[in-house]
């Protein structure tokens, strides 16, 4: 069986139209990395990124110094935002900015949304969304005196349209969910959930952190109102890379984000009294843009544009489907459960495997050159990145997991 599965990996690699992109990534020094399966947490760096950063430091920062701001840096949040919108978000120009962190942008947009609907006092969210999303809304609820309506979601699945329909009403100002659930990889039905929320008069807000660069996103087509996401996962922006925010053009004159800073002013260098927001999406900015942190995005957006998001999605489904094959053949007999959707229509870019005691395997996996991700209570997330991960790499990583799981002494079950 193992020989058949390895032959299948080799066949899939040989037929992979995106296989050549693996050569664009830097390899780990020392040769101790066997299988990197955590692209859904931190993407690998591109060789072009190292080159661009060196050139930027030497030529732009070192050569132009402060003149670089007027050479174009000031426009990077919007020009990169527009490029990201075109390549990965299905968003027309003038609606996306790159700035801040996901948490800060979540706060800005969510506060703006509830303030724009003062007659509505409820916000709908789910219990298994990423902690930042929940914490930010809890803070806003305390600030503005609004009620949070919690939808109980199964960590093995995610938010469903029928749950949203039962929760929203005429007092709902905003709904906030993740497009791809961070634990299970559940892919939400954004168009249908948007339709339900809009019918109740609510604004819709989507967290795209686990989908951008891996799953096709059609923000304009789906009628999304607000969205945020990070750039260090499938977009390979690097640790701490800036996030992005999307604000639908029809709402830009209505919503006013609460962190007023000089970069969001209509005339940043007038330095005058009083705050007047810039027109369009630039009003989402607050402080000085993280220019150095944006440099890697230039390289990755070039690569993603070349590959095409639909081709990336096609390979992602093959990769996660292959993970399921290996899990069924090797890990299910060892008591490992798959807690991600098997239906490709509802599966994002990663697969979560669960067994009691899996936390104890993380260190030995790393020692053997295999790097997955762990999420409590007992989940190992297998996150192959379509542009940097081969099928053989998945085979090798899960083979090590199988061998370690076979040897692991499981914790005693409580009666």
Last residue of a domain, one of 265, 284, 305: 305
Domain boundary, last residue among 305, 322, 340: 305
Whether 232 is catalytic is: yes
Do 37 and 108 fall within a single domain? no
In the set 315, 346, 354, 381, the catalytic residue is 381
Same domain, residue pair 334 and 393: yes
Task: Judge if 301 and 380 occupy the same domain.
Answer: no
* pLDDT value at 203 more than 60: yes
- Contact, 173 vs 133, CB < 8 A? no
Question: What is the reported pLDDT for 128?
Answer: 93
Element (H, E) at 48: helix 47-55
The catalytic residue among 13, 64, 75, 130 is 130
In a domain, 180, yes or no: yes
Examine the domain organization and report whether 248 and 373 are in the same domain: no
Identify whether residues 123 and 265 lie together within a single domain. Answer: yes
pLDDT tens-digit readout, 287-311: 999 999 999 999 999 999 999 999 9
Set 232, 234, 244, 395: catalytic member? 232
On whether both 118 and 222 belong to a single domain, the answer is yes
User: 207, 225, 373, 378: which is the annotated catalytic residue?
Assistant: 207
Examine residue 24 and state whether it is found in any structural domain, yes or no.
yes
* pLDDT tens-digit readout, 328-369: 999 999 999 999 999 999 999 999 999 999 999 999 999 999
Tokens representing residue 293 in the block: 């942190």
- Is 134 catalytic? The answer is no
244 is catalytic: no
Question: In this model, does residue 413 exceed pLDDT 60?
Answer: no
Active-site option among 122, 233, 248, 354: 233
User: Which range of residues forms the domain containing residue 92?
Assistant: 72-305
Average pLDDT over residues 20-31: 90
pTM for the model stands at 0.96
> Which residue is it, tokens 């940043």?
268
Per the domain annotation, does 58 fall within a domain? Answer: no
Annotation says 315 is catalytic: no
Clarify whether residues 338 and 222 are in a common domain. no
Active site residue 381: yes
- How many angstroms separate the CA atoms of 348 and 362, rounded? 23
Residue 67 counted as domain residue: no
**Total of domains in the chain:** 2
For the segment 120-176, what is each residue's pLDDT rounded down to a tens digit? Answer: 999 999 999 999 999 999 999 999 999 999 999 987 788 999 999 999 999 999 999
347 in a structural domain:
yes
Q: What is the CATH number for 358?
A: 3.90.1150.10
Pair 249, 336 in one domain: no
H or E, element range at 316 = helix 309-326
Q: What is the CATH number of the domain that holds 276?
A: 3.40.640.10
Tell me whether residue 414 is in a domain: no
């Amino acid at each position: 069986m193992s020989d058949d599965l390895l032959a299948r990996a080799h066949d899939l690699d040989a037929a992979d139209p995106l296989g050549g992109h693996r050569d664009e990534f830097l390899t780990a020094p020392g040769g101790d990395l066997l299988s990197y399966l955590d692209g859904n947490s931190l993407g690998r760096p591109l060789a072009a990124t190292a080159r661009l950063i060196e050139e930027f430091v030497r030529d732009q920062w070192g050569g132009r110094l402060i003149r670089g701001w007027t050479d174009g840096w000031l426009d990077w949040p919007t020009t990169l935002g527009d490029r990201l919108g075109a390549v990965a978000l299905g968003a027309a120009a003038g609606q996306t900015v790159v700035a801040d962190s996901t948490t800060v942008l979540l706060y800005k947009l969510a506060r703006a949304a509830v303030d724009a609907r003062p007659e509505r006092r409820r916000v709908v969210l789910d219990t298994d969304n990423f902690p930042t999303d929940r914490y930010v809304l809890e803070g806003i609820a305390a600030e503005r005196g609004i009620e949070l309506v919690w939808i109980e979601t199964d960590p093995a699945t995610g938010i469903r349209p029928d749950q949203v329909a039962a929760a929203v009403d005429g007092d709902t100002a905003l709904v906030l969910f993740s497009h791809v659930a961070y634990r299970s990889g559940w892919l939400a039905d954004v168009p249908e959930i948007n339709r339900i929320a809009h019918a109740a008069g609510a604004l819709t807000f989507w967290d795209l952190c686990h989908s951008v660069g891996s799953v096709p996103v059609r923000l304009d087509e789906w009628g999304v109102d607000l969205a945020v996401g990070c750039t260090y996962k499938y977009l390979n922006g690097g640790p701490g890379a800036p996030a992005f925010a999307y604000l639908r053009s029809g709402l830009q004159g209505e919503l006013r984000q609460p962190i007023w800073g000089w970069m969001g002013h209509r005339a940043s260098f007038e330095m005058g009294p009083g705050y007047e927001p810039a027109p369009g999406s630039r009003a989402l900015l607050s402080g000085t843009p993280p220019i150095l942190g944006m440099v890697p995005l230039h390289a990755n957006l070039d690569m993603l544009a070349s590959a095409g998001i639909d081709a990336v999605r096609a390979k992602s489904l093959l990769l996660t489907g292959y993970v399921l094959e290996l899990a069924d053949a090797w890990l299910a007999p060892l008591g490992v459960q798959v807690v991600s959707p098997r239906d490709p229509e509802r599966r994002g870019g990663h697969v979560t495997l669960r067994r009691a005691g899996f936390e104890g395997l993380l260190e030995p996996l790393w020692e053997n050159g295999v790097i997955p991700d762990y999420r409590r209570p007992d989940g190992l997330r297998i996150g192959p990145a379509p542009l940097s991960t081969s099928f053989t790499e998945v085979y090798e990583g899960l083979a090590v997991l199988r061998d370690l799981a076979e040897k692991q002494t499981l914790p005693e079950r409580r009666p």
